[in-house]
Amino acid sequence: MDSVLSLILFIPLIGAALTLFTKTRESARMIALISSAVPLILTVIIYLQFNSGLAFLKFQFVEKISWISTLGINYHLGVDGVSMPLILLNAILCPLTIIYAWGENKQPNQFFALILVLQAGVFGVFMALDFFLFYIFWELTLIPLYFLISIWGGPNKDYAAIKFFIYTHVASLVMLLGIFALYFSTGVNTFEIPVLLQAFAGITSPEMRVAIFLALFFGFLVKMPTVPFHTWLPDAHVEAPTAGSVLLAGVLLKMGGYGLFRVLLPMIDGLGPYRSDIITLMAVLAVVSILYATFAALAQKDLKKMVAYSSVAHMGYVMLGAAAFNFMSVSGAMFQQFSHGLITAVLFMSVGVIQHSVHTRIISDLGGLADRMPKLAFLMMAGFMASLGLPAMSGFVAEFLVLTGSYLTLPVFALLAMVGIVATAGYHLWAMQRAMFGSYNEKLGEPHDLAFYEMIPMAILVLLIIFFGVYPAPVMDVFEYASTIIPGVM
Amino acid sequence: MLPVSYYLIVSAIVFSIGVYGVMTLRSGIMIMMCVELMLNAANINLIAFASHFNQVNGHVFVLFSIALAAAEAAIGFAILMNIFRSNKNVNIDNINILRW
Amino acid sequence: MSIVDFISQFAPEVILTIAALAIMLIGLGLEAKEKRALGYIAIISLVLGILIIVLRGAYELQLEGIIADSLTIDPMSQFFKLTFLLVSLIVVIASLKEYDNHPNQDEYYTLIMLGTIGMMVVASAVDIVTIFIGFELASISTYALAGFNKKDRSSMEAGIKYFIVGALSSALLLFGLSYLYGLSGGLTNISDIAEFFSANPTIIQSPFGIMALVLIVAGFGFKMALVPFHMWAPDTYQGAPTVISALLAAGSKKMAFVAAFRVLLIAMIAIKVDIAMVFTILAIITMTIGNVVALSQRSLKRMLAYSSVAQAGYISMVFVVMSPEALTGAVLYVMSHAFMKTGAFIAVAALGYMLLRENSSAKDVDHLDNFAGLGKRSPFLAFSIMIFLFALSGIPPTAGFVSKFILFYSVLEGGFVFLVTVAILNSALSLYYYARVVKYMYVLPPSSSERLALPKAYSLAILVALIGVLAIGIVPEPFVNWAASAANVLGL
Amino acid sequence: MDFGSLAFLIVALPVLAFVLTLAFGNRLPNGGGHIPIVAIAMSFIISVLIFLQIYPNHGTVEQSAHWFSVLNVGIFIDPLAIVMLMMVTFVSLLIHIYALGYMSHDPGQTRYFAETALFTAAMLGVVLADNILQFFIAWELVGLCSYLLIGFWFRKPSAAAAAKKAFLTTRVGDVLFLAGIVILYFNMYTHVLPVVGGHETVYLLQFKTIFENLTLIPTDQLTIITLLFFGGAVGKSGQFPLHVWLPDAMEGPTTVSALIHAATMVTAGVYLVARTFPMFIAAPESLIIVALVGGFTALFASTMGLVMNDIKRVLAFSTISQLGYMMMGLGVGAIIGAEAVGFAMFHLINHAFFKACLFLCAGSVIHAVGTNDLREMGGLFGKMKITATTMLISSLALAGIGIPVSIGAIKLGTSGFVSKDAIILEGAYSYFAHGGVYGSLIFFFGVAAALLTSIYTFRLWFMAFTGKPRQERHAHEAPSTMTGPLIILATLALVFGALTFSPFIHYLETTYENEFFEEIDPNGYIHGLAERAGYHIPEHPIVHLDLAHDTLIMMLPVIAGLLGLAISWAIYHKRMFSVASIGNMRNPLFRILAKRYYQHEIFIELISLKFTYGVLALTSEFSDRKIVDGTIDAISSFFIGGAEVLKKIQTGVVQNYATATVLGVALIALVLSWGVI
């Protein structure tokens, strides 16, 4: 088990290479499925072995090999409570996405290979304990998604793909700047994340600390994304193929939140006199994201764009929980990441099926789909309900913890955030009503209901959403330990 | 013996003429000659300094530079020949298919 | 120092010289078809040179005798020689096919060899005379190479433009050096000059001193293609035979950097002149102009030329920072960029070759439109181009990323936050035009569905570059160490 | 055997039934409708067994397990919960049986039975919850199920719209409720945890923990919390101003209406206030607001009930109105204390019986005549005797007809009479008599609403069953699966109140009188809380009226009921004068009622469409496209445009390049010498 993390990390990459050289669709998707299922099995095994209770103070399954010793750069992997469930999420979503995309006809070998590369990149981000490595994987995730959008995307894919690429790349570079600054200001001559974070508070100039914090913050903000740096996301989603959207919203956005928890929160207490300003800034951004994105979603005509905006709003909760900075809110925010990953996947899959089946996503053109596509209606409804925060589904657990926790430290912001709940329900229900209910719009032709391979992943996800909504402890406990060891978190 | 500054003034004048020529002339040959002027201005400097300091290395430098200038000129003329073959003149200000 | 010692220490140069002469002589007696063998001679000599340098690794040797004042062997020189040899190797391998049946192959290979020797001389030179000679040797060879396709108007134009601006710059450089020589009281060895000026700083701060500095900066700046001395570069890179563009961008340009490192950094560090200011402006303008104008380019060669300009801007930040770390980054960047740029140009050349083979009257073979659907028509070529371009924009895990990482971080370490911010934003901007090419290759439909057969020579050349790019990206340690020891030589 | 340990089955069985029906219902007769019936019957039996077990010694059933984080799941059955449990399971069972017949021709009956099973389960979850969060979760699931059921005939656009409206409107209340929970947690965390924490795991949101430590929480905070809770109740129980969804909710099958309006959903709000009554009593200002809102709603809704022509809508408004009574009954607890819970719950139970009966009767009628419109009915009495009779009985109960005398413990009157009388006289009047704030107003609301209730109830009955048939369709009596439940419910509506009044009230009082509460405050838990908030609960809170001395007061509700009956009889049966002269749209009063006080215009068009969509959403969308994203695009076009300009520098003329080089030299020289000098 010494190098299990490396195995999880590299099996998809190897699988990607193999997939790329396959000749037929059948072999491509089979190899892809296997090479993403093996990491899932391994992840589940280590998740079960993962000892969140007793040994939560240190990283587990650590691998460390010196890489560029002059700069103190190591190939350093390890997991703890912050990352483990997200690794699980990634491990779950990718095979499901591959199954969902079982019918992909356009260059399937490249398609599946890119998904696998994406998976590996995200794994890497969640596992890396060295900033250099972290950054490498962080950037690595851009490329496959860029291709997924620009090759398999919709009509305006050029614009969306390049916008996504450049926008997030700029943010990454700013983050890189922050990493450098952190490295120099601490003077520890290593890029180890934990070491640097520990040394952060030792930086003498408080302004420097704030500058470092903000630079890193910007990188994560754009990724999450938070208003006003979110506009790449709806465009990317609208144009991306369903599998790309699922992974983009499901795991890629989580990288931003992960950065928040892994890197930024441990720094907060080191901010000295600026601590409260920064917290306020985060809280304002969070609440603005929630409300603004919710209202923007309300105005969308394209179902997929609406879902994309809902992602922005939901990620706002992550930010709010992080800003509130107590164990309840932080663990809730972490759980929100996990839960949103599952939920949004169902939503995008549903939208994908609609698009595929009736060739439009414009809400007003749809209507009465439940009549012809009852299975879709059922699963989509489940997804929508989860997304609007219905209890007994995982989204509620997260939102409740975030709101309750946030009220402890940021009461005003928590209450403001609650205003959005009604509007959230509003656009979800409105879309359901227009798209699913009423009499069937005959102009849409004869749709087919879910194919078997589309239904399986959606059903699994819905079951998981309900499972984690009813019994969140397996993931929640891990997050809870993880959040309590962040310095300064009550 | 003349002070070194005299040589410097001469060389500066020669150099300036060369620079002016490169900037303004149209003919490739003339431009090359202006470049030669500039090189020789430098050579004047070097010689002047070398004799001023009683050093031999300056002279060596000049010898090399003259040789190199010759080689350069040879290549230059070869290219200009080509141009002449296709354009029937050596004006280079209308050679601008490569731009923007 | 005996002649045997000399030969053993400068074995690569000696081998190359012999090879160059041999190629020239043998070529006289060969038919055009047989001249292909000459390329193999060049390759063998280059591989030998590379092996010698790699096996010896980074080491420093105190040379003795008359040679000691003008040449040196140190990690810096070896690093750059290795770079030049690798670039030449890649170029020559690619040329095997590019100039397969060309009647003047012998001259072509000789010129490449000589140019490489010139660059290597500059890498070892510690004397302004030697530097100038090496410079000119490399320049003259490449003038000829740039205009090598005599029947091609754009090659001709590239040649003349390169030549005129180059000659002008040589003259400027020489004039500047002559002042330097005079001001230092007749010194030519760089470290002696540095010593002299640090003892007598007022002399270099005189108008003559400043003039000398400026002219030297301009002379090097021409080769480095810093704005505003860059203007020849886009035209020349675009017009010259593509493999030669690779040599220019990756080889002769880098030669200017090593010379500048030696002269400017050693000689000028002693001088309390505010040269950092100048280079701050130059670096910012260079990278910004390079990247912004590259946005509008449709010719890939021209785009790569502008990207080259921009990269020079990044590297020249080292003259602002002047720290060993920055120099490490810059030195590493030089090698990385050599691989990336050579690879990219060779790949473009390969495509051009294949398109011309399909249709010999094709124009503008490096136009972006020709890259549409390349991913389908020639997967390996497209994939390599993608890697080279992503490397150029600094996306991990490539050489471009590692070297940019180290360079940028050292600039920040020096406290030049503004500079590094500009550089980083520029880097982001550059992604736009690189990604556009990638988009053409993979997203747009191909003009014809016929697959393009990539000749083996090109594949091999591209593969070498690809390995270089990925090796530095994934196993950077040895390269970084070598670059670091090279940087330490200058004793900043 | 300890039946308490089976308590979880009460919820688990219907959930199981939901899953099974969904999975296998299609292959079974009646769409698998028997599965939920069996499950709910068993739930009912378990509830009764538990009741029998805990009744003698006023015991409770408590179970709790760690859930996650700082939260637990648990079951808490006390007198309050057990009566509710029995009522819900029983009524739901009858409605399910009825639905076997009613839904037998609907192709979606499997879905129907699955959803109603889940609905019942959710409602039982609300009742059983031992902490406020679990309560909320089940509460929301109730909302979800109501959404699904109201929109059961989703192909009908109006049904889909009604479902959305119901869910959204209750969601407004739910958010308030959630906010209340959040603020409660904050207070528990800051004020209670330091006191109780440390020695053992304390679940801060557990009802018992809350009740035990109420005195530690500042009153003003409690007022905010309870008002927010009440906000949730207002949404769920259709109180003013969030009642708008309820009349529209009639788009679902009639059985659903019965389930929603009688047994489950709408009573959840009342149950919430009853469940958290100690919190309310510790912040009595909130209770007074509860009373006022409840009373006002009772009157307000009944005015609209007067003019509705849809049979189910009339009943819907009556539900709102009756819920108002319950709220009022709870609200007066500010003065009369815990007895208020008994009154309200008693009315809730009775209301469940007679309202379920009314809806099911209405269902029969609709089934028979195929329309909802009262104006198209008439003369059905002869054709549907059972339905007409049972409906008459439950109408009498709804109108509260009875005689205000008791023989021993038995009150003479329909169950509606018994419980409504209790709320008006023993509740509202006592409140008034003890000088409660706005006491006279609340009392007035109660009496006035009783009059109007009676009018519209009998208007409905007379219009449907008497007079000439206005339709040719051949109406017939429903099958026995439908009439059976009607008879049972009507019987209960008639006698349940009369028989059980005082034991019920006494039993519910014990909710707050067991050892647990005595330990907290030996001098009376509820009293202590009220005292602390500055409200005094009198020694004998209920003013005992004597028919001899307080004739007028005591007779008032009865008179109101009878008067209403008389008016209806006169207008709608005897047709003494035509309603058309006042009942048309030219009459502003009629128009405002028929338009339902323009709530649709205000809520849907003004608030939702004009403000939320038109202003907030479109502004956000616009700013997103034009401002936020516009900036990004502007930056990008700046660079791309800049490139087009800058590339022109490269003229292609080599002399220019030379000039640039020389100029560069000059400029650098300038910079350098400027640096030196």
Interface probe with B: pick from C130, C148, C174, C297, most Cβ of B within 10 Å: C174
Peptide bond between residue D485 and the one before it cis (omega within 30 degrees of 0):
no
Q: Predicted confidence band at D517 (pLDDT cuts at 50, 70, 90)?
A: confident
Tokens of A214: 């903000």
Name the closest residue on chain D to residue C271, using Cα atoms. Answer: D676
Q: What is the pLDDT of residue D529?
A: 81
Q: What is the pLDDT of residue A92?
A: 92
Peptide bond between residue D241 and the one before it cis (omega within 30 degrees of 0):
yes
Q: What is the pLDDT of residue D475?
A: 65
CB contacts under 8 A, A 124-163 vs D, are 163
Residue B91: φ, ψ to 5°: -70, 130
What is the 3-state secondary structure of chain A? CCCHHHHHHHHHHHHHHHHHCCCCHHHHHHHHHHHHHHHHHHHHHHHHHCCCCCCCCCCEEEEEEEEEHHHCEEEEEEECCCCHHHHHHHHHHHHHHHHHHHHCCCCHHHHHHHHHHHHHHHHHHHHECEHHHHHHHHHHCHHHHHHHHHHHCCCCHHHHHHHHHHHHHHHHHHHHHHHHHHHHHHCCCCCEHHHHHHHHCCCCCHHHHHHHHHHHHHHHHHHCCCCCCCCHHHHHHHHCCHHHHHHHHHHHHHHHHHHHHHHHHHHHHHHHHHHHHHHHHHHHHHHHHHHHHHHHHHCCCEHHHHHHHHHHHHHHHHHHHHHHCCHHHHHHHHHHHHHHHHHHHHHHHHHHHHHHHHCCCEHHHCCCHHHHCHHHHHHHHHHHHHHCCCCCCHHHHHHHHHHHHHHHHCHHHHHHHHHHHHHHHHHHHHHHHHHHCCCCCHHHCCCCCCCHHHHHHHHHHHHHHHHHHHCCHHHHHHHHHHHHCCCCCC
Distances (CA, A) of B56 to B30, B39, C64: 33, 19, 20
Number of separate domains in chain D:
2
Name the closest residue on chain B to residue C169, using Cα atoms. Answer: B35
Q: Of D303, D363, D320, give the one whose Cα is nearest residue D103.
A: D363
Q: For residues D96 and D100, what is the distance between their CA atoms, to the nearest angstrom?
A: 6
Residue A379: φ, ψ to 5°: -70, -35
Chains B and D touch (3+ CB pairs under 8 A): yes
Interface probe with D: pick from A169, A310, A433, most Cβ of D within 10 Å: A433
Between residues B17 and D301, which one has the greater pLDDT?
B17
CB D471 within 8 A of CB D369: yes
Domain-embedded: residue A472 = yes
Q: For residues D203 and D448, what is the distance between their CA atoms, to the nearest angstrom?
A: 45
Partner-chain residue, chosen from C222, C227, C295, that has the shortest CB–CB distance to D643 = C295
Name the closest residue on chain B to residue C364, using Cα atoms. Answer: B98
Q: Which residues contact A362 (CB under 8 A, 6 or more apart)?
A: A301, A302, A303
Q: Which residues contact A180 (CB under 8 A, 6 or more apart)?
A: C408, C409, C412, C413, C420
Domain-embedded: residue D586 = yes
**D536 and D626 fall within a common domain:** no
Nearest CA to CA, how far is D645 from chain B (Å)?
10
Number of Cβ pairs < 8 A linking chain A and chain D: 140
The mean pLDDT of A259-280, rounded to a whole number, is: 88
Subunits with at least 3 CB pairs below 8 A relative to chain D? A, B, C
Number of separate domains in chain B:
1
Give contacts of C442 with chain A, Cβ < 8 Å: 147, 150-151
Query: A45 and chain D: CB distance < 8 Å anywhere?
Result: no
Name the closest residue on chain C to residue A138, using Cα atoms. Answer: C396
Q: Predicted confidence band at D580 (pLDDT cuts at 50, 70, 90)?
A: low
CB C142 within 8 A of CB C112: no
Q: For residues C180 and C197, what is the distance between their CA atoms, to the nearest angstrom?
A: 10
Q: What is the pLDDT of residue C143?
A: 92
Domain-embedded: residue B100 = no
Query: C31 and chain A: CB distance < 8 Å anywhere?
Result: no
Partner-chain residue, chosen from C161, C215, C281, that has the shortest CB–CB distance to D665 = C215
Q: What is the pLDDT of residues D451-500, one digit of tens each?
A: 888 888 888 888 877 777 666 666 677 777 777 888 888 888 888 877 88
Q: What is the pLDDT of residues A97-122, one digit of tens each?
A: 999 998 888 888 889 999 999 999 99
Number of separate domains in chain A:
1
Query: B30 and chain D: CB distance < 8 Å anywhere?
Result: no
* Amino acid letter for position A30: M
Peptide bond between residue A411 and the one before it cis (omega within 30 degrees of 0):
no
Q: What is the pLDDT of residue A116?
A: 93
The mean pLDDT of C357-365, rounded to a whole number, is: 83
- The rounded mean pLDDT for chain D is 82
Partner-chain residue, chosen from B28, B64, B78, that has the shortest CB–CB distance to C133 = B64
Q: Predicted confidence band at A335 (pLDDT cuts at 50, 70, 90)?
A: very high
Q: Predicted confidence band at A365 (pLDDT cuts at 50, 70, 90)?
A: confident
Distances (CA, A) of C74 to A403, C49, C134, C406, C485: 64, 16, 17, 22, 9
Q: Which residues contact C31 (CB under 8 A, 6 or more apart)?
A: none
Chains C and D touch (3+ CB pairs under 8 A): yes
Partner-chain residue, chosen from D171, D179, D618, that has the shortest CB–CB distance to A425 = D171
Q: What is the pLDDT of residue D602?
A: 73
Name the closest residue on chain A to residue D627, using Cα atoms. Answer: A228
Q: Which domain holds residue B25?
A: 4-87
Between residues D70 and C324, which one has the greater pLDDT?
C324
**D536 and D616 fall within a common domain:** no
Nearest CA to CA, how far is C129 from chain B (Å)?
6
Domain-embedded: residue B28 = yes
Half-sphere exposure of D121 (CA within 13 A, CB side): 23
Give contacts of B22 with chain C, Cβ < 8 Å: 164, 168
Domain-embedded: residue A184 = yes
| A333-342, C124-133, C198-207, C404-413: the lowest-pLDDT one | C198-207
Share of chain D above pLDDT 90, in %: 1
Domain-embedded: residue B93 = no
The mean pLDDT of C225-251, rounded to a whole number, is: 91
Q: Check pLDDT > 90 for residue D386.
A: no
Q: What is the pLDDT of residue C111?
A: 93
Q: Which residues pair with D129 in a beta bridge?
A: D75
Q: Check pLDDT > 80 for residue D596.
A: no
Query: A91 and chain C: CB distance < 8 Å anywhere?
Result: no
Chains A and D touch (3+ CB pairs under 8 A): yes
Q: Predicted confidence band at C201 (pLDDT cuts at 50, 70, 90)?
A: confident
Contact state of C181 with B41 under an 8 Å Cβ cutoff? no
Q: Predicted confidence band at A481 (pLDDT cuts at 50, 70, 90)?
A: confident
Nearest CA to CA, how far is A396 from chain C (Å)?
38
Q: Predicted confidence band at A71 (pLDDT cuts at 50, 70, 90)?
A: confident
CB C80 within 8 A of CB C332: no
Tokens of D327: 């709220």
Q: Predicted confidence band at A93 (pLDDT cuts at 50, 70, 90)?
A: very high
**D486 and D609 fall within a common domain:** no
**D484 and D612 fall within a common domain:** no
Tokens of C89: 């190797």
Packed helices C456-474 and C324-358: angle between N→C axes, nearest 10 degrees = 160
Q: What is the pLDDT of residues C108-119, one digit of tens each?
A: 999 999 999 999
Q: Check pLDDT > 80 for residue D198.
A: no
Q: Which domain holds residue D632?
A: 600-676
Q: Check pLDDT > 60 for residue D573.
A: yes
CB contacts under 8 A, D 117-136 vs A, are 133, 136
Q: What is the pLDDT of residue A488?
A: 74
- As a whole number of Å, the CA-based R_g of chain B is 17
**D486 and D604 fall within a common domain:** no
Domain-embedded: residue A489 = no
Q: Check pLDDT > 60 for residue D91.
A: yes
Q: Which residues of D622-641 are buried (b: 16+ CB within 10 A; e: fewer)?
A: ebbeeebbeebeeebeebee
Q: Check pLDDT > 90 for residue C91.
A: yes
Q: What is the pLDDT of residue D553?
A: 76
Residue B14 is part of a domain; what is its CATH number? Answer: 1.10.287.3510
Q: For residues B9 and D630, what is the distance between their CA atoms, to the nearest angstrom?
A: 60
Q: Which of D568, D594, D620 is the last residue of a domain?
A: D594
Give contacts of D676 with chain C, Cβ < 8 Å: 205, 210, 273-274
Q: What ipTM describes this predicted complex?
A: 0.88
User: In chain C, where are the structural domains located?
Assistant: 274-492
The mean pLDDT of B19-31, rounded to a whole number, is: 89
The mean pLDDT of A77-106, rounded to a whole number, is: 90
CA D165 to chain centre: 14
Q: For residues D214 and D191, what is the distance between their CA atoms, to the nearest angstrom?
A: 10
Q: Of D506, D501, D485, give the one whose Cα is nearest residue D90.
A: D485
The mean pLDDT of C236-259, rounded to a whole number, is: 91
Q: What is the pLDDT of residue C332?
A: 92
D74: enclosing H helix or E strand: strand D71-77
Q: Check pLDDT > 80 for residue D581.
A: no
What is the separation, in whole angstroms, between the first and last Cα of chain D?
104
Q: Which residues contact B33 (CB under 8 A, 6 or more apart)?
A: B21
Q: Check pLDDT > 70 for residue A210.
A: yes
Q: What is the pLDDT of residue D219?
A: 85
Share of chain C above pLDDT 70, in %: 98
Name the closest residue on chain A to residue C424, using Cα atoms. Answer: A173
Peptide bond between residue A225 and the one before it cis (omega within 30 degrees of 0):
yes
Q: For residues A431 and A444, what is the distance between their CA atoms, to the nearest angstrom?
A: 17
Nearest CA to CA, how far is A176 from chain D (Å)?
21
Q: Check pLDDT > 60 for residue C334.
A: yes
Q: Which of D594, D618, D649 is the last residue of a domain?
A: D594
Query: D653 and chain C: CB distance < 8 Å anywhere?
Result: no
CB A481 within 8 A of CB A52: yes
The mean pLDDT of A354-372, rounded to a whole number, is: 85
Task: Let me know how long chain D is.
Answer: 677
DSSP C89-144: HHHHHHHHHHTTT-TTHHHHHHHHHHHHHHHHHHHHB-BHHHHHHHHHHHHHHHHH
**D572 and D663 fall within a common domain:** no
Domain-embedded: residue B15 = yes
Q: Check pLDDT > 90 for residue B38.
A: yes
Q: Check pLDDT > 70 for residue D250.
A: yes
Contact state of B23 with D653 under an 8 Å Cβ cutoff? no
Between residues D191 and C245, which one has the greater pLDDT?
C245
